Amino acid sequence: MHKQLFNIKKSDARKFIIIALLAVVLIAAFVFIGLTPKNYSYALSRRLPKIYTMIMVGGMIGFSSLIFQTVTNNHILTPSVLGLDSLYMLLNTALVFFLGSTNQWIVNANSNFIITLVVMLGASVVFYQVIFKKRSQNIFFILLVGIVVGTLFESFTTFLQVLTDPTEFLTVQDKSQASFNNINTNVLWLSTIIVILTTGYSMRYFKVLDVMALGRDHAINLGVAYDKTVKKLLVVVVILTAVATALVGPITFLGLLVVNIARYFIESYKHSHLSLAIWLLSIVALVGGQLLVERVLNFGISVSIIINFIGGIYFIYLLMKGRTEG
């Protein structure tokens, strides 16, 4: 792993240094702007958890999107097509609708995180058990089922939202957008442990992912146990996506944006190099976006709206580019 990471071309090394310096500058600006001897204690207690969460969530979303795009051999897909974002919204909408916005499962951040994470992971386990039990190991069949299930969840969510009391609908609306303003520091340690274990496990597949990027047939010819590896990597994708979504909410286009920019920005095909670039770009995107929200827009919108807006435009560009090249 270390040999792969430090065996970087000089041109790519310069780019890594530039991105890393930009990330450090943005982090420093976010932490230190506006600090005074009177407010530094309170300000740091609010800002440091935000920074830590943005660094961790950005890494989770970017890394899971990279793995997912490699497994599906498609650069415009993200784990959101599996329906996890839709399940997150359906769960929180149902909790508000049936139990009320003042129920502890909504108000208590710890309880909300735990039940959201358990339901999302549990539903994913059932989903994959049913599909793989029928020996339908085609990744595109899984994607098709995920899209259909996600659309079904969205329909149920819309139905419940129409019937929800307008005053309680605001609670549901807040859940629909990722936010770093009120980070639940009590669950950061649990999220950190899950991320470290999951990422550490998946790092050993970096070389395998390099081969899988060539396509299913080439990977099998080169000795990769393709279907078994896909199963294991999809579990990694689901866990990272579920933790990130349960922690801050859905950020649909962040993964698409940073993964494709990283592929364009650096010349290396190695997933060890791409992962590092994606992590740094995620920090730049989230910290830069949050700075814009707080210092320029005065909390007028959330950072997820900015990222989804830019990501949506970039997604359309990728589609149009694909049609032109086709």
- Pick the closest to residue 258 from 214, 216, 307 (CA basis): 307
**Calpha distance 115→135 (Å, rounded):** 30
pLDDT of 323 > 70? The answer is no
pLDDT of residue 230: 87
**Percentage of the chain with pLDDT > 90?**
18
Per-residue confidence band for 135, with pLDDT thresholds at 50, 70 and 90? low
pLDDT per residue over 50-81, tens digit each? 899 999 999 999 999 999 999 888 888 888 88
CA dist., res. 262 & res. 240, Å (int): 19
Q: How far apart are CA 162 and CA 157, in angstroms?
A: 9
The pLDDT of residue 14 is 86
pLDDT of residue 277: 92
| Residue with tokens 């230190």, as numbered in its chain | 32
pLDDT band at residue 282, thresholds of 50, 70 and 90? very high
pLDDT(6) > 60: no
Higher pLDDT, residue 135 or 11: 11
Helix or strand holding residue 22 (H, E):
helix 10-32
Query: Is the pLDDT assigned to residue 25 strictly greater than 70?
Result: yes
Mean pLDDT, range 26-34, rounded to an integer:
90
Tens of pLDDT, residue by residue over 201-239, are 998 899 999 999 888 888 889 888 888 888 889 889 989
* Whether residue 315 has pLDDT greater than 60: yes
Alpha helices in 134-248 (DSSP H): 139-163, 166-175, 188-203, 206-212, 216-221, 226-248
| Long-range pairs for 95-104: beta carbons < 8 A, 24 or more residues apart | 96/164, 96/168, 96/169, 96/171, 96/172, 97/160, 97/163, 97/164, 97/168, 100/168, 101/167, 101/168, 101/170, 101/171
Distance (Å, whole) CA 269 – CA 277: 12
Question: What pLDDT, on the 0 to 100 scale, is given for residue 134?
Answer: 60
Q: What is the mean pLDDT of residues 181-190?
A: 80
Q: What is the structure's pLDDT at 29?
A: 92
Q: How far apart are CA 35 and CA 45, in angstroms?
A: 12
Sign of CA dihedral 173, 178, 183, 185: positive
Environment class of residue 140 by beta-carbon count within 10 Å: exposed (0-12), middle (13-18) or buried (19+)? exposed
Average pLDDT of the segment spanning 89-109: 81
pTM: 0.88
What pLDDT score does 2 carry? 47
**pLDDT tens string 162-185:** 888 777 777 777 777 777 877 777
